[in-house]
Structure 1
Amino acid sequence: MTTVGLLYPGYSAEDDYPRMEMLLGSDIRLPVFHTDIGEDAHRVDALLRMGAAERLAAGVEELRLAGAESVVWACTSGSFIYGWEGAHEQTRGLASSAGLPASSTSFAFAHAVRELGAERVAVAATYPEDVTEYFTAFLKAAGIEVVSDRAGGIITAAEVGTWDRERVLALARAGDHPDAEVVLMPDTALHTAAYLPELEEALGKPVLTANQVTVWEGLRLAERRAWAPKLGTLFASRE
């Protein structure tokens, strides 16, 4: 049994995780522990407060009791908003308080792009333009070339969580670029687990989404490989 603890801000698309758990098999558990979202706003000041150390540490005890072998801060904007060095400091603090290997969705994207052997990506984000620029800067700090970025302009996670299949597909298509090897969709409030094969078929290339890479990162930290083609190219190799 492998257990990955997920710290998730508020309530939007956390039902993606039990769906992925079902697709991954009976010996992988993905318990979700909700952190206080504070003000639901894709705005720099609100995101900095959302990712504060004390808010992340508040969910750690439950996570340990659940037998987690690794922990991931399942929030992209609440991690990249601190910048490359600040996001490292955030995960170091989380690892220290949890006593477990720790990461965040932002680092999960960087590691997953490398896993796929890609160098050039396109970003299809739900966020406002200024927040999207923070994510682009984070990727560039990771040595990834961002050939284009698309900002959806949505302020709240609550609104993003209501998006249906058609809106998710439309955002992916709008954010794609012919020079991109992979398309990134960086909001854990966005439901994508049910659409991954369709997204990749529509674009003709790998698509990395926030909840997908979060789970992959937690399993990587727990030194567990998992095969689940319905979760996209990232999970399609047995190697």
Structure 2
Amino acid sequence: MRYDDHLRYEYEFETIDPLGRIGVIALATDFNIETDLRRLVPVGVEVLTNRVLNANPISLESLRAMAPDIARAGAGILPNVGVDAMIYACTSGTAAIGEENVEAAIHSVWPGIPVTNPLKSACAAFEALGAKRLSVLTPYVREVNETLVEELTRRGFEIVNIGSFNIDSDFDATRIPSDAIAAAGRDLCDPSADVLFVSCTALRAAAVVETLEADLGKPVVCSNQALAWHALQLIGCAARPTGFGRLFDR
């Protein structure tokens, strides 16, 4: 057998990520996050994912149990190459573990890297939209909802009302039809709320943001939409997707 280990062709290496790289620490149980984020970032931005160990059913205990694995999952995203920003992709997990703890775990393996999460991104989105009073839609069980409300309230937002599908499985949360999410959002959103917040990276909510905004006459923020919006800011990317709500007009 002839073996040629140095093929002689003229070429230059191409840049495959001209607008930047975003690392995503996703939950092992999340069936939706990569699909949404690839729709929500422009061509030229690469999204690289690794998964943190977690398990259903979703509870405060199971959410907090993933904390020791965050650093390992982050370290496994393009080692020795790196990304421009890192996402920890769990809204309820951030509330349960604590944002400072999540960022400390990521910075232990990627010192100084810009980090965001759905809770941080959503709060930045509310501020950009001038929203203080929130109607909140989630798939979570009550104890997880209560922790989320505590975190949002601590950050200075008023929760007008909250409604839930009361589901304890990420896989089942992704199976909720987008039309059902839209119908629940329309019924739940209080007229006095400044914005409707649809929480959870597993929910297929990004697809109905514009429909809900048209029906409600006010901004709608969901976890994955806010994540993409905030991560694009962190990597300095001015390009924006279309069709995903008023947030991307800011």
Structure 1's 173 and 129: CA in aligned 2 closer, same or farther, altered over 3 A? farther
Cα offset, 1:178, TM superposition = 0.7
- CA–CA separation in structure 2 for the residues paired with 1:225 and 1:120: 28
Q: Which of 9, 21, 26 is matched with 1:3 structurally? A: 21
Pairwise mapping of residues 224-239 of structure 1 onto structure 2 (< 5 A)?
224-237=237-250
Q: Which of 32, 35, 45 is matched with 1:13 structurally? A: 32
**SS of residue in 1 equivalent to 2:207:** coil
**SS of residue in 2 equivalent to 1:149:** strand
Cα offset, 1:78, TM superposition = 0.7
Cα offset, 1:221, TM superposition = 2.2
Cα offset, 1:6, TM superposition = 1.1
- CA–CA separation in structure 2 for the residues paired with 1:197 and 1:179: 20
| Deviation larger for 155-164 or 218-227 | 218-227
Q: Which of 225, 234, 241 is matched with 1:221 structurally? A: 234
Aligned length: 228
Which residue matches 2:59? 43
Pairwise mapping of residues 20-35 of structure 1 onto structure 2 (< 5 A)?
20-21=40-41, 24=42, 26-35=43-52
Cα offset, 1:79, TM superposition = 0.7
Residues 121, 145 of structure 1: 8 Å contact kept = yes
Which residue matches 1:62? 76
TM-score calculated relative to the size of structure 1: 0.88
Which residue matches 1:71? 86
Pairwise mapping of residues 70-219 of structure 1 onto structure 2 (< 5 A)?
70-82=85-97, 86-99=98-111, 100-219=113-232
Which residue identity lines up with residue 176 of structure 1 in the other structure? Answer: C
| Deviation larger for 131-140 or 221-230 | 221-230
Residues 9, 75 of structure 1: 8 Å contact kept = yes
**SS of residue in 1 equivalent to 2:56:** coil
- CA–CA separation in structure 1 for the residues paired with 2:116 and 2:204: 21
Cα offset, 1:220, TM superposition = 2.4
Residues 20, 84 of structure 2: 8 Å contact kept = yes
Identity of aligned residues (%): 25
Which residue identity lines up with residue 57 of structure 1 in the other structure? Answer: A
Cα RMSD after superposing both structures: 1.7
Which residue matches 2:11? none
- CA–CA separation in structure 1 for the residues paired with 2:182 and 2:174: 14
Bigger helix share: 1
- CA–CA separation in structure 1 for the residues paired with 2:105 and 2:53: 17
Cα offset, 1:214, TM superposition = 1.3
Cα offset, 1:56, TM superposition = 1.1
- CA–CA separation in structure 2 for the residues paired with 1:193 and 1:118: 19
Which residue matches 2:8? none
Unaligned runs of 5+ in 2: 1-18
Unaligned runs of 5+ in 1: none
Residues 113, 119 of structure 1: 8 Å contact kept = yes
| Deviation larger for 9-18 or 64-73 | 64-73
Which residue identity lines up with residue 149 of structure 1 in the other structure? Answer: I
Residues 53, 69 of structure 2: 8 Å contact kept = yes
Cα offset, 1:123, TM superposition = 0.5
- CA–CA separation in structure 1 for the residues paired with 2:45 and 2:202: 22
**SS of residue in 2 equivalent to 1:98:** coil
